[in-house]
């Protein structure tokens, strides 16, 4: 049962990452739209750029954690002789 729960937790984490990537793309779209205006709102651009950067850093950290988890050998496998 614990393995099933852990697998569900990992899947939920990946779904959260996927949603955050969607938010990143939305922020990028907002910035592009704002930059296309003749007179862009610098404060809006600064806020969107900060949100974009923070989200990218968070996604990078979460994906790195997922990759580290997936590359760990199962418990006890490092002590087996081949």
The number of distinct structural domains making up the chain is 1
Neighbours of 81 (CB within 10 A): 3
DSSP states of 5-36 as a string? Answer: HHHHHHHHHHHHHHHHHHHHHHHHHHHHHHHT
Greater confidence (59 vs 76) lies with: 59
Q: Give percent above pLDDT 90 in the chain.
A: 67
CA 69 – CA 10 distance, rounded (Å): 10
- What band does 75 get if pLDDT is binned at 50, 70 and 90? confident
Give the pLDDT confidence of 58-71 residue by residue, as tens digits.
999 999 999 998 89
Domain assignment present for 82: no
Q: Is the pLDDT of residue 42 over 60?
A: yes
CA 61 – CA 20 distance, rounded (Å): 12
Q: What is the mean pLDDT of residues 7-14?
A: 91
Neighbours of 77 (CB within 10 A): 8
Q: What is the mean pLDDT of residues 42-60?
A: 94
Domain range enclosing 11:
2-67
Domain assignment present for 47: yes
pTM: 0.75
Q: Is the pLDDT of residue 11 over 80?
A: yes
Domain assignment present for 56: yes
């Amino acid at each position: 049962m614990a393995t099933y729960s852990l697998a569900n937790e990992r899947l939920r984490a990946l779904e959260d990452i996927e949603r955050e990537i969607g938010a990143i793309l939305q922020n990028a779209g907002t910035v592009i739209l704002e930059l296309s205006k003749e007179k862009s709102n610098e404060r809006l651009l600064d806020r969107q750029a900060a949100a974009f950067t923070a989200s990218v850093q968070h996604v990078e950290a979460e994906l790195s954690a997922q990759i580290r988890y997936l590359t760990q050998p199962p418990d006890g496998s490092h002590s087996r002789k081949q």
